[in-house]
């Protein structure tokens, strides 16, 4: 894999000077193409010339003094800050392409890519059932995995009440989205104690797309009523 190159303003002093001069040479003739105006580039050119001159003086034994070095460091800070500001403008200007940013020795524009929804169905485990509350865990099918699959924003949960698994997905009741591996499902008093509950789940991606559903698993609902809210 090719090693990423630092933008010129995050490199050496020599690179800062030559990189800034490169920006001046490319952008100054056509500032509007890069989302800036002539005044900005004129000021940037002044900062570039000042730093380049002071850098040369600081490297020459005949002109290198503490005062010159101090002035050079101040000029460096100002030019680096201005270079970062220009880079932000260029990156936010749609007309500026990545090849142009590379030519300017700046970072390319990175377009975030949505992670695809996991291809496999999640695995659902029943951790415990206490009264009318089921504590479940939805996790990746990878061995020893205890968390959500890579690329999943969460999981949709579905339940069905019956002695056998539902013959059609449309018979499930949607129980909501969980964004954590551990989740609780509380069943209303209308579901009889001793009823057989089937649970299935599917992954949900960042863009709302869903994976295939998991094979339903079942448990028996215990007795007791859900307490009224205080």
Residues 167 and 96 in one domain: no
Residues 57 and 91 in one domain: yes
* DSSP bridge partners of 185: 134
Number of compact structural domains in the chain: 2
Residues 28 and 93 in one domain: yes
Residues 133 and 165 in one domain: yes
Mean per-residue pLDDT of the chain: 91
| Number of neighbouring beta carbons within 10 Å of residue 217 | 16
pLDDT of 110 = 82
Q: Supply the pTM of this predicted model.
A: 0.54
**What is the extent of the structural domain holding 25?**
8-103
Q: Is residue 184's pLDDT more than 50?
A: yes
Alpha helices in the chain (DSSP H): 13-27, 38-59, 66-92, 98-103
Which whole number is the average pLDDT over 17-40? 96
Q: How would you classify the pairing of strands 152-161 and 173-178? A: antiparallel
Give domain status of residue 36, yes or no: yes
């Amino acid at each position: 894999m090719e090693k990423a190159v630092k933008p010129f303003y995050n490199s050496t002093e020599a690179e800062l000077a030559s990189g800034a001069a490169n920006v001046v040479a490319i952008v100054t003739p056509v500032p509007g193409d890069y989302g800036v105006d002539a005044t900005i580039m004129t000021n940037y050119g002044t900062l570039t010339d000042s730093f380049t001159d002071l850098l040369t003086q600081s490297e020459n034994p005949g002109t290198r003094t503490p005062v010159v070095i101090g002035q050079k460091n101040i000029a460096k800070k100002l030019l680096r800050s201005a270079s970062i500001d220009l880079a932000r403008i260029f990156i936010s200007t749609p007309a500026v392409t990545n090849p142009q940013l590379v030519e300017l020795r700046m970072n390319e524009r990175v377009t975030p890519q949505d992670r695809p929804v996991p291809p496999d169905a999640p695995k659902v485990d029943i951790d415990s059932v206490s009264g009318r509350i089921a504590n479940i865990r939805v996790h990746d099918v990878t061995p020893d995995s205890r968390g959500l699959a890579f690329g999943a924003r969460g999981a949709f949960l579905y339940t069905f009440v019956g002695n056998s698994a539902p013959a059609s997905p449309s018979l499930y009741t949607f129980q909501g989205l969980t964004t954590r591996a551990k989740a609780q499902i509380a069943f209303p008093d209308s579901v009889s104690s001793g009823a057989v509950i089937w649970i299935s789940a599917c992954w949900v991606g960042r863009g709302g797309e869903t994976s295939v559903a998991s094979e339903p698993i079942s448990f028996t609902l215990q007795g007791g009523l859900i307490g009224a809210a205080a």
